[in-house]
């Protein structure tokens, strides 16, 4: 079996849905952000502060290219690098967890571990990131999962139905 890649904006529930899918499908689960934190032995915010986004993205690509037969919760920015998009296309099925901006704002308003959300205007920052990445998400996605007004169970069931 090939990999199942969950892609999308931060706050869409990729890690939560990935863990549930891995249990239901009895597959290994990998969260690329958690793997990067293990590599650097520090939280993502500190990685960005001390090593910068380019170092983070370099390790992110290495983590991605090691996955086999897994459910993979990809960091929101994994689509930025072409080599990552190419790897995902060739090595599995990609599912875009798509959400309305107001749901992301609600979920992320009190988050302190999102290094790209350093602006006081959360909505503006999220819209900026979305506008930079949306075409990449949609062109990479094999399937688009609308997560608005759905429970975790409904999302997982929809994904299993697609697979």
Residue 105 located in a structural domain:
no
Question: What six digits make up the tokens of 12?
Answer: 């869409």
Cα–Cα dist 43/63, whole Å? 16
Convert 87-123 to b/e letters by CB count within 10 Å (16 or more is b): bbeebbbbbbbbbeeebbbeebeeeeebbebeeeebe
- Residue 31 near residue 15 (C-beta atoms within 8 A): yes
Domain range holding 140? Answer: 3-100+135-161
Partners of 4 in the beta sheet?
A: 71, 93
Query: Would you call 50 exposed, middle or buried from its count of C-beta atoms within 10 A (0-12, 13-18, 19+)?
Result: exposed
Residue 154 located in a structural domain:
yes
- Residue 76 near residue 129 (C-beta atoms within 8 A): yes
Residue 112 located in a structural domain:
no
Partners of 30 in the beta sheet?
A: 72
Please state the pTM of the whole predicted model: 0.90
The CATH code of the domain that includes 47 is 3.40.50.300
Cα–Cα dist 125/116, whole Å? 8
Going residue by residue through the chain (163 aa), what tens digit of pLDDT does each one get?
799 999 999 889 999 999 999 999 999 999 999 998 998 899 888 888 898 888 888 989 999 999 999 999 999 999 999 999 999 999 999 999 999 988 887 767 766 565 555 657 778 888 998 999 999 999 999 999 999 999 999 999 999 999 9
Residue 46 located in a structural domain:
yes
Q: Quote the number of domains for the chain.
A: 1
pLDDT for res 92: 97
Residue 37 located in a structural domain:
yes
């Amino acid at each position: 079996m090939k990999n199942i890649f969950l892609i999308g904006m931060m706050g869409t529930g990729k890690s939560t849905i990935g863990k549930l899918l891995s249990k239901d499908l009895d597959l290994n689960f990998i969260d690329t952000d958690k793997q990067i934190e293990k590599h650097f032995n520090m939280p993502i915010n500190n990685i960005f502060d001390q090593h910068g986004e380019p170092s983070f993205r370099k390790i992110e690509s290495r983590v991605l290219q090691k996955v086999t037969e897994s459910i993979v919760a990809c960091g929101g920015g994994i689509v930025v690098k072409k080599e990552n998009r190419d790897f995902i296309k060739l090595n599995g099925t990609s599912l875009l967890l798509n959400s309305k901006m107001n749901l992301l704002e609600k979920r992320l308003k009190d988050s302190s571990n999102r290094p790209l959300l350093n602006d006081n205007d959360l909505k503006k920052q999220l819209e900026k990131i979305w506008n930079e990445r949306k075409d990449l998400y949609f062109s990479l996605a094999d399937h688009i999962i609308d997560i608005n007004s759905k429970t975790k169970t409904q999302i997982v069931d929809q994904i299993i139905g697609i697979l």
